[in-house]
Amino acid sequence: MTSKYKSLDKKLGYSFKDIELLELALSHRSVGNTNNERLEFLGDSILNFVIGEDLYRRFPDIQEGHLSRLRARMVKGATLAELGLEFGLSDFMKMGAGELKSGGYRRESILADAVEAIIGAIHLENNGDMSVCKRVILAWYQSRLDKLSIKDTLKDPKTRLQEFLQSRKLALPEYEVVKVKGLSHKQTFHVECRVEGTEEVATGTGTSRRIAEQVAAAEALILLGVDTRENV
């Protein structure tokens, strides 16, 4: 491992022997034909299997539908992007000039794809030895998996708020980013959410606009008197 990637090596909990393979995993399609899309495809399949197997063993008494929702929560782009931020992938991504100028290094979808591509690269470097991928992925996800419960199969706050308002023929919520603080690679978003049924404005903060909107939606449900422990 070259000195350039020592910090990434530590955060990933895995040291690449093939640096070119790692750099390929970190190459966005904007750099040209030699990019991480094929590795991303492979990593996505591996991630779904590893997380699915862990959930199957972790929750022996819940049905397939609940398991699917739990897995979707773990492997969705937003969760992968959070991992990408934790790994500091923005500092290592290779992108074309246009993508860099538009701030692609902090875009959730690009970070999420890179995490999946890294999984694919780990798989290839170990000649398809799933035990290595499994060890690395479960280490990344351990704290998130340990916090999961059957309650996590409930719909997310934004979906629940929208369905609650629609069921009462009220206007859809309006979200507005009112402030963005911090450096470009480590920002905090402040969002306001306005809904019919209350004059109070719900607010939320998060490391991405999506997360801040979810927090604001959860607060809006509380302002509307909705029991946030149950589906609306």
Domains and CATH numbers, the chain: 3-149 (1.10.1520.10), 157-223 (3.30.160.20)
Q: 3-class SS at 94?
A: strand
Q: Active-site residues: which are they?
A: 44, 116
What are the residue ranges in the chain where pLDDT is below 50? 1, 229-232
Query: How does pLDDT run across 184-209, given as a tens digit for each residue?
Result: 777 899 999 999 988 999 999 998 89
Question: 165 Cβ partners below 8 Å, 6+ apart?
Answer: 171, 172, 173, 195, 196, 197
Please indicate if the annotation marks 116 as binding a ligand.
Answer: yes
pLDDT of residue 2: 57
Query: Does 40 appear as a known binding residue?
Result: yes
How far, in Å, CA of 70 to CA of 58, rounded? Answer: 11
DSSP code at position 4? G
Query: First-to-last CA distance in the chain?
Result: 51
pTM of the full predicted structure? 0.67
Looking at residue 105, its pLDDT comes to 57
Q: Quick one: pLDDT at residue 232?
A: 35
| Residue 3 burial (CB count, 10 A) | 6
